[in-house]
Structure 1
Amino acid sequence: MRRPKSIRRWFGRKFGYSRLVCLILLIGLAALRISDFAPIQELRVRTFDFYQRFDPRVKTARPVTIVDIDEPSLKKLGQWPWPRTHIADMVINLANLGALAIAFDVVFSEPDRLNPDVAANTMRYLDELTRSKLRELPSNDQVLADAIRRARVVLGETGLPSVVSDIDKELPFTGFASLGDKGSREPRFFEFDGLLRNVPVLEKVAAGRGLVTIVPERDGIVRRVPMVLLAQGHMMPSLSLEMLRVISGTSTILAKYDLNGIKSIGVRGLDIPTDKNGQFWVHFARQDPSIYVSAASVLDGTAPVEKIRGKLVLIGTSAATLNDLKTTPVSSVMPGVEVHAQVLEAALSHAVLAQPNYATGIELLGAFILGLLVIVFTPNLGPVTLVAVGALFATLLIGTSWYFYREQRLLIDFTYPLLSTTAIYLTLIFASFVREQAQRKQVRDQFAQYMSPVLVEQLAQSPEKLRLGGEEREMTIMFSDVRGFTTISESYKSDPQGLTALMNRFLTPLTNAILARKGYIDKYMGDAIMAFWNAPLDDKEHEINACNAAIDMLEKIEELNTTREQESKAGGHPFIPINVGVGLNTGLGVVGNMGSDLKFNYSVLGDSVNLASRLEGQSKEYGFPIIAGSRTALAAKDKFAILELDFIMVKGKKEPEVIYAIAGREDVAQSGRFQRLRNLTIEMLACYRSRDWEGALAAIERGRQTDDAGTLELLYNLYKARILDYQKNPPPDDWNGAFALLTK
């Protein structure tokens, strides 16, 4: 018996529980890194931002020119969008000047509003001959299409958050192929539900089509540009990747995989490294005004030939009024079209950054090695030595990361290993502090046994303050109550202990039935129970579980009544059965700690709670022990026998509610007897709500003949009494069939 205790003492003395905690912490931090916890990710990318600001890409070539729809162009040619004839002239002039390829960072999603046929239909005071001649002219869109057909033009498209129209599958799409290990991790492409394309006449003749959408990261900074995206179910290349495909002369884009996901995306003669989700880390250069040419100069023929001939030409805008400005690691304001240009420049000059898929492994390995060294040696080193060693480790991590960036253009993070090691070091220091405090307390306690204390120690920390609060969520509420409990309690007026025992006998199985179905007991109110589902823990089937619990409760009460009846016969005293009514309702409620600062309970409030309470009170009127609101019943209709009872206006509510009886589980629902009664009840309700009183009474009589067990006797009596009253005092003309309850 002493060996385990001696082993624990040896473990505590030689290794220490604080070291064990740090090992667990090391594993936990590794799990956070593998899951790429958002704060860790943000710190990492901020570090890479600093690298780029400190050492941006230096341009060795300028293969890209931007034709800029700038403020002077807008002032000269008018507001955007310009007539497509101007765009056609621009394409023709660029092709004549020797542009290698042309791409639009704009989308022509609608027909030109200045088409001749539009003018013919909208301009006043034109004679019919002029209108006819205008309609015979080719559309501006066709003029642009003819210009695009004669050049290598890539059209821009954009992803949308929702579908605006079905995709015309007759229009061309870029092909994709994949190469890599079987069982590779599926990439998580940026996905858009909708896709905005250009007008078909342009799409059909373009050499390529690519998405212009640039997705900033959580903090609004563009660091990575997705080279492949999903839009309306289709894989789509980015504008820059599609431009590279067009100039390479290939029809297909190739994605290469390893076990972690995508490792590169390429076209003929060019392989572009990406992260595992197909995003390209842009090695940004500082903004370069020299690659811009004004769109107005292209149109009037004054653009420098050397900036066009043999260049990849991107047509976009730097005008602030057109709202296409981005934030990058090297610039707070960069036109979106220049981001595409930076991607093309970096890819063509092979000046690319890469965060290889094995980078996470290097970071984890570094964190583990340094963490283990800290765990082993920190408790045995002095404070000065610890500071020196810590500074050495930090310098080593930062220097290694900078070396990989500067010399290899690889993004290896040093922040995670540094943070992990620091967290372990601080944990060990804290454990040492706690251990010293415990030793001091032990000494004080030992001396206090023998000496009178001269000082009274005060609390070092204040107790945490309890705060009130709540959250809104959808829940199913239950109220249950014993019918005729006053009569039962009167029979125990000379035996209060017996009444208490009886309450415990029926509250215990009812409580167990609720808890077994994942319910939460809110409170007991004498012989009544309030419970709810889907809080504090989530329960996707809270309506089903609540209905099952209600039926279980009736079964438990039936078992209890059988036992009590036998006891009454044996004891020679009268037997009064216990009957329970249950109200169920599903809806929004505010759940949380409710009460005062000194005393509170975890409870729920809301209109759905009040309705559940009212439904429980109506169970005796309709003759069914379980009554549910419409949302509860409709959610449970496939697994329970659901019978519509009424369309009621509860006192205190403005909106009527359809209420249902939960008459049993699926076996009852499938029985022929229940289905016949349900059909007759549906017929009776239809006649009743359409004011066909005679038809409703006839349905009631047929129901009585079918219902040999008298299950619906109270329901039929209730409706017969209403109908007889309505025959004498008809409801108003705007009556919708709802019956206003007079009591709560």
Structure 2
Amino acid sequence: MWSRLYWLAVGGPLAAGLLVMGADPSPLADARNGLFDLYQRAAPRAYDPDLPVRVVDVDEASLARIGQWPWPRATVARLVDKLNASGAGAIAFDMVFSEPDRLDPAAVVGLLPEDVRAPVQTALAGRESNDEILARALGESPSVLGAVLTGTRTGATYPAKWGIAAAGDDPLAFVPRFAGAVAPLPGLAGAAKGIGALNWLPDRDQVVRRVPLLLALDGKLVPGLGAEALRVAQGATTYVVRASNASGDEGFGTQSGITAVKIGALDVPTDSQGEVRVRFTPTDPRRFLSAAAVLDGTVPREELEGRIVLVGTSAAGLMDTRATPIDAAVAGVEIQAQLIEHLVSGANLVRPDWARGAEMVLTAVLGLLLALVLPRVSALAAGVAGLGVVAALAAGAWFAFTRLDLLLDPMGPGWAVLGVYLMGVLALYRDEQKQKKWVRSVFGRFVSPQVVEKLAENPERLVLGGETREITILFCDLRDFTSLSETMDAQALTRFMNAYLTPMTEVVLAHGGTIDKYIGDAIMAFWNAPMDDPAHARNAALCALAMSARLDALNVEWRRQAEAAGRPFSPVRCGIGLATGPCCVGNLGSDQRLEYSCLGDDVNLASRIEGATKSMRVDILVSEATRAAVADLPFLEADLLMLKGKSRASQLYLLAGDAAFAGSDAFDTLARRHAALMSAYGAGHFSLARAAAEALASEGPDRLSRFYTLYAERCQDASTTPTPAGSIS
């Protein structure tokens, strides 16, 4: 048995490491950001001059040529006209026009001596103001103006140029919130095609690593400048925001935040706050065009045509500079440009929400494995192994960054492994062999190796509007759940439902199904949407068999637990109904809330078929269309039933087993005997049918015995109360 000292020695650094990783204090976050910055500097995104983004720069040359900033709004309007005439796809200003133009002639007149003011005012009468000239230019172009959100109410008008559709949890709960805004003048704001917030939230070291796509202003979502420029350039009208617990996102009830924002044709993954971590390039002069050159008409048209043009400044005196992971100082407008480049190029850089948990699990597993290994090998061998693990962690993190666009932190697991090694070796040197054996014994009783699994990525793009496609729908419901629930208190019922729904959900997902919803104790799922599944009916049928088998295994375990506790146990049964047919699938709901679901007559049919399993005394029934779509599974005719809510009778079938059973002699015999039973029953030969049903109930498959007993009872009833042959049950 290992000594207590050894446990303290290896458990101390491991527990401390896990506690620090779980708390994630600011110094640790700073160190992690520094490491991720090193990644970007070592392998930055290469600048592609063919990307449709350019910056029109109010640079030092422009200030020398045009004059000091701010320029008259008439000059800005001329710049907009030049860009629009060159075919710019969008013109976005990384600046705020929140006050009237001080250089407007009408404003300058007020500074003149009174004796000359009146003639000048007369001469200017009827002339458009500079702000009106700029508003006209903005209205004739795909323009986006900047605004700055603030923590205090300003009363400024902030018109919404966009629509918002949200799926899942309310995204307002996750984005940064602001109470007011410094917004463009109402006349300018009304003329522009879009308004984007210029805010970004740098980390503690004032380095900009993430740029928000969405923010909250007085209880409403507003887009950032980069997002709004992309929307206007694509002619889109609405942002689609997907958050936790949207259909297809595995939130399982937890409000983990925003997962993606769809802007036109772009489906952009985000962090939980709706921010994008940008993969930066070094500053490249090819990204910039001098504003003076644009005004002079010396910029080639191909540099502007079809591109998103951001207007900003790199002039040092205007002090619009920020730090990025790659550069210590870049123009603020360049960050917006690099965000758009990042999005349109399909680049991705994500610190996934599961990363910290996975790193903690990896730390625990590696620490425990190392603690197990140390007493069994020499210190040198353990040291080499520990260094190998640290090197593997670093290599794995680098691979994840360069090939998978994931940001994983090897420092926490690495330091924990190093701490476990050093402290474990020191403790082992002080222990006798007997103490080492004792520690091995205790460790072996309490710890088993755990397998670290990675999570499956990206939603798939959902169908935004409904589409009609053939799907197979499954409904699964517990039998006598009301009676069962009455025997449990709230906590016991919750534990039971979790113990039931979790494995059933795993079975559905393992067979390629889409969980639509949980309805109390019922599960609704479907196949062939959103991913194509040519064998959807077969996969759904196999899933139904697997769910039935899984419930049998659960009953064995529950019975064992009940017997161990000395309490009675009644087996839990379920009914499963399958139907196949054309349904409308897609993001269904309202503008405020969308869910990926399905609608159609066959959805209702599947639900009714599931309900019929109780009266038919079977666990699985399928529709005629499902049976026709699956050629290699053993189906048997069940009955022609008039289901509740249906205007005509529906032919239902039993699912007798899997494909192996379908090809067996046992099924051939069963099918012949079943056909004879149904023929005799349909012809009104109830005595003959009863004998066949009783024989099948005792000699056929156990899972169908209750079904054949039902037919025997029907024949008994029909013998005493004759029923027209072929009648509908």
TM-score interval, normalised by the smaller of the two chains: 0.5 to 0.7
Equivalent residue for 2:131? 141
Partner secondary structure for residue 321 of structure 1? helix
Q: 1:24 to 1:266 in 2, by over 3 A?
A: farther
Which residue of 1 is the match for residue 187 of structure 2?
A: 201
- Counterparts of 1:583-662 in structure 2 under 5 Å? none
Q: Matched residues in 2 for 1:426 and 1:229: separation?
A: 47
Find the counterpart in structure 1 of residue 541 from structure 2.
none
The answer to whether residue 58 in structure 2 is matched with residue 69 in structure 1 is yes
Q: How far apart, CA to CA, are the structure 2 residues paired with 1:126 and 1:290?
A: 49
Counterpart residue number, 2:269: 273
| Cα distance change on mapping 1:320 and 1:376 into 2, 3 Å | same
Of residues 203, 224, 233, the one that matches 1:217 is 203
Matched, 1:419 2:415: yes
After TM superposition, give the deviation of residue 130 of structure 1 in Å: 3.1
Q: Cα distance, 1:333 vs. partner?
A: 1.7
Q: Does 1:128 align with 2:121?
A: no
Contact 2:53 2:287 in 1 (8 A): yes
* Separation in 2, partners of 1:298, 1:55: 34
Shift of 1:277: 1.6
Distance 1:189 1:435, change over 3 A: farther
Letter in 1 for 2:140: R
- What whole-Å deviation, never above 9, does each CA across 1:42-66 have from its counterpart, x for those lacking one? 2222111111111111234321111
What's the CA shift for 1:159? 2.4
Separation in 2, partners of 1:145, 1:308: 21
Q: Residue 116 of structure 1 contacts residue 137 of structure 1 at CA under 8 Å; is this kept in 2?
A: no
Q: In structure 2, what residue type is equivalent to 1:200?
A: P
Structure 1 position 172, deviation (Å): 2.9
Note the 1:269-348 alignment, pairs <5 A: 269-348=265-344
SS state at 2:138 partner: helix
Contact 1:314-1:337 at 8 Å conserved across structures: yes
In 1, the alpha carbon distance for the partners of 2:125 and 2:23 equals: 61
Query: Is residue 409 from structure 1 mapped to residue 405 from structure 2 by the alignment?
Result: yes
Question: In the aligned structure 2, how far is the partner of 1:88 from the partner of 1:434?
Answer: 81
Superimposed CA distance per residue, residues 474-521 of structure 1 (whole angstroms, 9 cap, x where no aligned partner): xxxxxxxxxxxxxxxxxxxxxxxxxxxxxxxxxxxxxxxxxxxxxxxx
Query: What pairs up with 1:699-718 in 2 under 5 angstroms?
Result: none
CA distance in 2, matches of 1:27, 1:268: 47
| Equivalent pairs, count | 421
CA shift for structure 1 position 227: 1.6
Matched, 1:56 2:82: no
What's the offset of the Cα at 1:353? Answer: 1.2
The aligned residue for residue 85 of structure 1 is 74
Supply the distance in 1 between the matched residues of 2:171 and 2:179 (Cα, whole angstroms).
23
Out of 14, 21, 33, the residue aligned to residue 33 of structure 1 is: 21
The equivalent residue for 1:356 is 352
The change in CA–CA distance for 1:252 and 1:15 in structure 2 (over 3 A counts) is: farther
| Residue 117 of structure 1, CA deviation | 2.6
Structure 2 CA distance, aligned partners of 1:424 and 1:233? 49
State the structure with more CA Rg.
1
> 2:87 corresponds to which residue?
98
Which string of whole-angstrom CA distances, capped at 9 and with x for unpartnered residues, describes residues 280-323 of structure 1? Answer: 11111121101211111111211221211111100000101111
Task: Spell out, residue by residue over 1:99-134, the C-alpha distance to the aligned partner (whole angstroms, 9 max, x if none).
Answer: 111000011110001223323333223253431342
Could you tell me how far apart the structure 1 residues matched to 2:127 and 2:431 are? 91
Change in CA separation of 1:229 and 1:35 when aligned onto 2, cut-off 3 Å: farther
Find the residue that maps to 2:273 and give its secondary structure: coil
What is the Cα deviation at residue 210 of structure 1? Answer: 0.7
Matches of 1:286 and 1:64, distance apart in 2: 15
Query: Structure 2 CA distance, aligned partners of 1:186 and 1:101?
Result: 27
Paired with 2:173 and 2:351, the residues of 1 have a C-alpha distance of: 15
Q: Is the contact made by 1:103 and 1:243 (CA closer than 8 Å) also made in structure 2?
A: yes
Flag the 1:178–1:426 CA change in 2: closer, same or farther, 3 A. farther
Tell me which amino acid in the other structure corresponds to 1:236. V
Residue identity in the other structure for 1:34: G
- Note the 1:509-520 alignment, pairs <5 A: none
Instruction: Name the amino acid aligned to 2:145.
Output: L
**Preserved contact between residue 187 and residue 262 of structure 1 (Cα < 8 Å):** no
Counterparts of 1:271 and 1:27 in 2: how far apart (Å)? 40
Q: Secondary structure at the match of 2:328?
A: strand
Deviations 1:442-491 (A, max 9, x none): xxxxxxxxxxxxxxxxxxxxxxxxxxxxxxxxxxxxxxxxxxxxxxxxxx
Gaps (5+ residues) in structure 2? 245-250, 436-729
User: Hey, what does 1:382 align to over in structure 2?
Assistant: 378
1:18 aligned onto 2:19: no
Counterpart AA for 1:45: N
Gaps of 5+ in 1: 1-12, 440-744
**What root-mean-square deviation, in Å, do the aligned CA atoms of Structure 1 and Structure 2 show?**
2.4
Separation in structure 2 between the aligned mates of residue 425 and residue 37 of structure 1, nearest angstrom: 24
Instruction: Give the whole-Å Cα distance in 1 for the aligned partners of 2:384 and 2:117.
Output: 92
Q: Secondary structure at the match of 1:331?
A: coil
Residues 202, 304 of structure 1: alpha-carbon distance in 2 compared, 3 angstrom cutoff: same
> TM-score normalised to the size of structure 1?
0.54
Mapped contact 1:58–1:285 kept (Cα < 8 A): yes
**Whose relative contact order is higher, 1 or 2, with alpha carbons under 8 Å and at least 6 apart?**
2
For 1:383 and 1:433, locate their aligned partners in 2 and report how far apart those are by CA, in whole Å: 10
Is the 1:68–1:294 Cα contact (8 Å) retained in structure 2?
Answer: yes
Cα distance, 1:385–1:318 mapped onto 2, change above 3 Å: same
How far apart in 2 are the matches of 1:429 and 1:323? Answer: 55
Q: Is residue 278–residue 339 contact of structure 2 (8 Å, CA) maintained in 1?
A: yes
Q: 1:98 to 1:188 in 2, by over 3 A?
A: same
For 2:12 and 2:258, how far apart are their aligned partners in 1?
A: 32
Percent sequence identity over aligned pairs: 35
Q: Match of 1:252, as an amino acid?
A: T
Amino acid at match of 2:258: I
Is contact 1:64-1:345 (8 Å) kept? Answer: yes
C-alpha deviation, 1:188, in angstroms? 4.1
Q: CA shift at 1:248, angstroms? A: 2.5
Q: Which amino acid aligns with 1:384?
A: L
1:448 alignment partner in structure 2? none
TM-score after normalising by structure 2: 0.55
Letter in 1 for 2:70: P
Distance 2:151 2:297 in 1: 40
The one-letter code sitting in structure 2 at the alignment partner of 1:353 is L
Letter in 1 for 2:102: R
1:245 aligns with 2:231: yes
Cα gap change, 1:209 to 1:43, in 2 (>3 Å): same
